[in-house]
A and B are shown apart, each in its own frame.
Chain A
Amino acid sequence: MNRVDTIHALETALAAERERTGAKPLKGTAELRTVRQILAKHGGKASQIIAILQDLQAVYHYLPEPELRFISLKLEVPLTRLYAIATFYKAFRLVPRGRHEISLCMGTACHVRGAMRVKDAIERELKIRVGGTTNDMRFSFETVRCLGCCGQAPVMTVDEELVSRLDHLTVGKALERYK
């Protein structure tokens, strides 16, 4: 991408980004309004950068590049630092994800109660690997290290809703209700 240190260039980049990912492009500065609001909510403080990125991702389900550039300009934080943060912390994604996010717990208690088998079952069922997204953008599949529900192991969350006492034979059926 070329240098985009003007708002105009950012908007052009935003439009191109939306087209690339298949989302409907909005007019003018409507989308930058969202990121501006988020920055204002956190007082425009660079130390709040992780919370800012979390709020941004909550809206778009990933971290779009034009918004990150805007944040870099506004907070006067080098883009390298934003990129480092976005790739260091596993909560962040730089590419769009599926409609439903599956997070399978691979904590010790779950592991000991058969989480690996459940993982294999999900991979077979959805035909994707951990970290992937189904072709129809229906599911994204991640593993996490411990959701803290060890008494109900093995567990997973789908869209932050807990599904517990999983079984490699029935997990496929459990996923059917998510369209």
Chain B
Amino acid sequence: MSCDGREVITLKLKKLRSFKSLDRFAKEILASRPADGIRVAVCTDTGCRACDSVKVYEAFNREIAKERLTNVEIKATGCHGFCEKGALVVIHPREILYTQVKPGDVPEIVAKTLKKGQLVERLLFLDPETGARIELEGEVPYYTRQMRLILGDNTRIDPTDIRDYVALDGYQALRRALERERPGEIIRTITRSGLRGRGGGGFPTGIKWETARKARGARRFVICNADEGDPGAFMDRSICEGNPHSVLEGMIIGAYAVGAHEGFIYVRNEYPLAVQALTTALAQARQCALLGDNILGSGFSFDISISRGGGAFVCGESTALMASLEGRPGEPRAKYIHTVEKGLWEQPTVLNNVETWANVPKILLGGLDWYTKIGTGDVRTNPWGGSKGTKIFSLVGKVRNTGLVEVPMGMTLREIIFDIGGGVGKGKKFKAVQTGGPSGGVLPESLLDLPVDFDALTEAGSMMGSGGMIIMDEDTCMVDVARYFIDFLKDESCGKCLPCREGLRALLEILNRITEGEGRKGDIRLLEEISEGIAATSLCALGGSAPNPVLTTIRYFRDEYMAHIRDKRCPAGVCKALLHYAVIPENCTGCHACFKACPVSCITGRAKEIHRIDAAKCITCGACYDACAFGAIAR
């Protein structure tokens, strides 16, 4: 099994032309595994790859061949979620977790753990609270509070081998749907489960499917939105690369439910590995007749093709995505007539996010009673009445444990950020959490006890969005954050409508002035006024939600704006034009650290002498400030 290859992986697979043949296939796979079998899961997702996990994988293969361990199988898997501690290795069936594994560690792991069942202590996770080493993956604090319904399977699956998925009840939900249920029943189940769109919109999936099924059109389409444009979010990428079949199975069930025979997965251009993983999965599913003509002998035919984006955030918006699929520039259109009625090629179209599709097989297999117990609210009479199931978040930024986190809806921000994420670290203080990407907003410390679901964060001015959760500390300037997001949106705006195109330019201009020390009285009110205009009159949700970062930073960090505007000061020390670095002579020990850190050599001074910064050459990068251990640099 290659984990790097640019080619599609081919296996010898038989077409399954009956429901029972799927069961037999699963039995065969399980029977083929030795009773004393050990499976080593090496995470080869992009994050761990950057920690040489591919070399770890190759080292394992070499070692077990050398030692002739025939009962050991090495698997290259997708993301395990604990990205901070990569490269990650999990050893099944004991579920031992080894963190920060280097290629050089592999011979020891093979000799001690795989051959003798002993632990390599130094590679076990060290709990910062207790100082103890933890053996089992399931007992590591990062994971214990999570509920990894969707991501959990990643450590058991080689995404280039459909057999791993089948061995975990893969395609059983599809089998049940095709064998025993009518489309209407499936839709009712999904509606009653309370499943809502995980891409950020939170629209009840069952209602979307029902509307599409009833809509009139010669062709019907289902689309998977894998555009994942929110900076800081990589949940969908990890599902596509780690467990692509979960998405395919969901789409096939959905297609059956709404009567579609053609499907598309639209993957953003910046995710070539996801495209590859999905392409391999599609090919293998077709080989097994789980996709294509006459699926499992049921008479239902459906196939999927993959489309790559061209580098446009706006193509995450449904109508822009469809324009792109049709071979046009990604310009959105008004949604007065919904895409479920007239979507791709003016036909009824169901578009759902990657994570939404991945939830579908789990719901059908696990049942309504089980699924509706997870999450918040009551969806028995109203699918909008709660947020059911789990949500995957990408917990990143100034947080100790960065990575992917999957929790039941309703867990509070505090629990996610501090109990799972381990808080801010490096002696810094939490300042804000940004959720929902460029359409969302920031929330301050006072709101950390809000539960995270579709509705609670919206009232506070932000939104859960697709799951990006970016932690910011005292060194983050909130005005700069607003400026950053507006700058991003201005580049990504399609430019068709006046308010978004010109309004974002105006907002950026004002925010630039403020961060450059030229803020004026009345600027905040002007920002709010332009924001109202853009939000109310833009053609699509990019413009419609663009002001959120600005409005929430003003709402919760107004004094920071005032410091910039009135006092020409940046309290967080970020806005270069408002900074002035100088050495504090009384504190300077002449340790020379600042001199070494300075990229433009604007600091003079010899060892043990008081150093001096030449303000004319200084580019206010702040490297000296960070390097000084004696508090001798002022800004």
Contact between chain A and chain B defined by CB under 8 Å:
yes
Which residue of chain A is the closest to B329 with respect to CB atoms? A88
Question: Across the interface, do A155 and B228 meet the contact criterion of CB distance under 8 Å?
Answer: no
Given contacts A50-B310, A89-B310, A162-B49, contact A121 B599 (CB under 8 A): yes
Q: Is B325 an interface residue (CB 8 A)?
A: yes
Q: How large is the interface on B (under 10, 10 to 19, 20 to 34, 35 or more residues)?
A: 35 or more
**Given A53, A146, A165, which contacts B231 in the complex, CB threshold below 8 Å?**
A146
Q: Is B46 an interface residue (CB 8 A)?
A: yes
A104 to B465, CA, bound (A): 25
**Given B228, B403, B434, which contacts A108 in the complex, CB threshold below 8 Å?**
B434
Q: Is B307 an interface residue (CB 8 A)?
A: yes
Q: Is B484 an interface residue (CB 8 A)?
A: yes
* A112 / chain B contacts, CB cutoff of 8 Å: 397-398, 470, 472, 476
Question: Across the interface, do A168 and B599 meet the contact criterion of CB distance under 8 Å?
Answer: yes
Which residue of chain B is the closest to A105 with respect to CB atoms? B231
Q: Is A92 an interface residue (CB 8 A)?
A: yes
Which of A2-10, A14-22, A23-31, A41-49 interfaces with chain B? A41-49
* B402 / chain A contacts, CB cutoff of 8 Å: 109, 150-151, 153
**Given A90, A144, A148, which contacts B237 in the complex, CB threshold below 8 Å?**
A148
A152 to B311, CA, bound (A): 22
Q: Is B271 an interface residue (CB 8 A)?
A: yes
Q: Is B623 an interface residue (CB 8 A)?
A: yes
Q: Is B28 an interface residue (CB 8 A)?
A: no
**Given B83, B310, B325, which contacts A88 in the complex, CB threshold below 8 Å?**
B310
Digitize B267-298: 1 where CB-to-A-CB distance is under 8 Å, 0 elsewhere: 00111100000000000000000000000000
Question: Across the interface, do A164 and B310 meet the contact criterion of CB distance under 8 Å?
Answer: no
* A111 / chain B contacts, CB cutoff of 8 Å: 231, 484
Q: Is B232 an interface residue (CB 8 A)?
A: yes
Question: Across the interface, do B46 and A149 meet the contact criterion of CB distance under 8 Å?
Answer: yes
Given contacts A151-B84, A151-B86, contact A85 B597 (CB under 8 A): no
Q: Is A106 an interface residue (CB 8 A)?
A: yes
* B491 / chain A contacts, CB cutoff of 8 Å: 145
Given contacts A112-B397, A168-B621, contact A85 B231 (CB under 8 A): no
* A110 / chain B contacts, CB cutoff of 8 Å: 231
Question: Across the interface, do A85 and B310 meet the contact criterion of CB distance under 8 Å?
Answer: yes
Question: Across the interface, do B396 and A91 meet the contact criterion of CB distance under 8 Å?
Answer: no
Question: Across the interface, do B47 and A149 meet the contact criterion of CB distance under 8 Å?
Answer: yes
Given contacts A85-B310, A108-B484, A151-B83, contact A145 B50 (CB under 8 A): no
Question: Across the interface, do B470 and A88 meet the contact criterion of CB distance under 8 Å?
Answer: no
* B516 / chain A contacts, CB cutoff of 8 Å: none
Interface centre among A53, A112, A121, A155 (most CB of B within 10 A): A112
**Given A50, A88, A106, A152, which contacts B50 in the complex, CB threshold below 8 Å?**
A152
Q: Could you name 7 residue pairs across A and B whose Cβ atoms are closer than 8 Å?
A: A47-B326, A50-B310, A54-B269, A112-B397, A113-B398, A145-B313, A153-B396
Sample of 19 further A-B pairs with CB below 8 A, known A124-B599, A146-B231, A165-B50: A50-B308, A50-B310, A50-B324, A51-B308, A54-B269, A89-B310, A89-B330, A90-B311, A90-B312, A108-B396, A109-B397, A111-B484, A112-B470, A120-B619, A146-B234, A150-B232, A150-B396, A150-B397, A168-B599
